[in-house]
Amino acid sequence: MNNLYFYLSKILGPILVPTNFLLLILVILFLFYLKYKKKIILNVLSLNIFLIFIIAFLPLGSFGFQYLEKDFSNIKEYKNIKNILVLSGSDKRIIASINLAYKYPESKIFYVGGDAFLVQDKNNDNHNLTEKFYNGLNFDMDRLIFVGKSRNTIENFKEIKELDLEYSETVLITTAYHMKRSMIIAEKLGVSVKPYPIDFTAITKTPILNSYQGFNVTKNLSYFNTFFREILGIVAFKLTT
């Protein structure tokens, strides 16, 4: 069942990305309109174009990140940290784990997760690349432990639970917008770790001119897609557990 869920999510995932879906519908509606010349098709086509413009020109994704990140924006410094869990992903998570490991010299890093792609590339194995990254930053490799090759967040926490760590001494590093979904899954699976979010992207109060200078249609589309994916992941997890 888990494998079926994984393959379906990877196959259907790109289609369910909001901007991909809207553009696909746009093409289909346009072709139907060329053939049938129906006013109702033109109306739906216009609505579709309007939605794409709204997502592209308004920072809806950034506002969505506020909801995802707000509970983790005032994390205080922890004490007595011995286990640093890093969910596989961006290089920023690796750098944050090293900084935290230097802060707590008795701690160890557990790098959790593998390659989420359907077709695995043996020449670009996630663990090998990550090991080279840590090595390149002169990190003590005796303090680094790779945990399984889980392919999504749910599998991540199932493998973390099997480690049987002392959760009061364990922090979890992941991107800030991904922390809410991670903590929901962790709590449901009985993994009570401390959140250590990085790379906050939520919109902040800035002068209008500064906001204009940072305006980027591509970023708006990307942020909205990411926000939608996180919400969809939370909803899907709650409905299936």
Each residue's pLDDT tens digit, 48-70: 999 999 999 998 999 999 999 99
Task: Say whether both 178 and 83 belong to one domain.
Answer: yes
Cα dist from 159 to 31, 163, 165, 216, whole Å: 48, 7, 11, 38
**pLDDT of the residue at 201:** 85
We report the CATH number of the domain holding residue 168 as 3.40.50.620
Residue 57 lies in a domain: yes
Task: Note whether 181 and 160 are same-domain residues.
Answer: yes
Same domain assignment for residues 64 and 131: no
Residue 175 lies in a domain: yes
220 assigned to some structural domain: yes
| Same structural domain, 111 and 131 | yes
- Number of separate domains in the chain: 2
CB 180 within 8 A of CB 230: yes
pLDDT at 203: 64
Within this chain, do residues 172 and 191 fall inside the same structural domain, yes or no? yes
Q: What mean pLDDT do residues 25-29 have?
A: 94
* Residue 140 belongs to some domain of the structure: yes
Residue 146 is part of which domain span?
74-198
Q: Can you tell me the distance from the alpha carbon of 224 to that of 221, in angstroms, rounded to the nearest whole number? A: 5
Measure the CA–CA gap between 5 and 233, rounded to whole angstroms: 12
In a domain, 4, yes or no: no
3-state secondary structure the chain: CHHHHHHHHHHHHHHHCHHHHHHHHHHHHHHHHHHHCCHHHHHHHHHHHHHHHHHHHCCHHHHHHHHHHHHHCCCCCCCCCCEEEEECCCHHHHHHHHHHHHHCCCCEEEEECCCCCCCCCHHHCHHHHHHHHHHHCCCCHHHEEEECCCCCHHHHHHHHHHHCCCHHHEEEEEEHHHHHHHHHHHHHCCCCCEEEEECCCCCCCCCHHHHHHCCCHHHHHHHHHHHHHHHHHHHHHHHHC
Whether residues 174 and 151 share a domain: the answer is yes
Task: Look at residue 7 and tell me if it is in a domain.
Answer: no
Which amino acid, residue 91?
A: D
Query: Using an 8 Å Cβ cutoff, are 70 and 197 in contact?
Result: no
Question: Are residues 140 and 173 located together in one domain of the fold?
Answer: yes
pLDDT of residue 237: 87
Are both 88 and 117 inside the same structural domain?
Answer: yes
Same domain, 184 and 100: yes
What's the confidence (pLDDT) of residue 126? 73
Pair 49, 64 in one domain = yes
**Dihedral, 207, 213, 216, 220 alpha carbons, nearest 10:** -10
Note the pLDDT tens digit of each residue in 205-229.
Answer: 666 556 667 788 999 999 999 999 9
Residues 188 and 88 in one domain: yes
In a domain, 5, yes or no: no
pLDDT for the residue 117: 54
Query: Does the structure show a pLDDT above 90 at 16?
Result: no
Note whether 93 and 100 are within 8 A (CB). Answer: no
Tell whether 3 is covered by a domain: no
pLDDT of residue 28: 94
Least confident of 111-115, 119-123, 189-193: 119-123
One-letter amino acid for residue 34 of the chain? L
Contact present, 127 and 114 (Cβ < 8 Å): yes
Residues 6+ apart with CB under 8 A from 98: 109, 134, 137, 139
User: 216 and 153, same structural domain?
Assistant: no
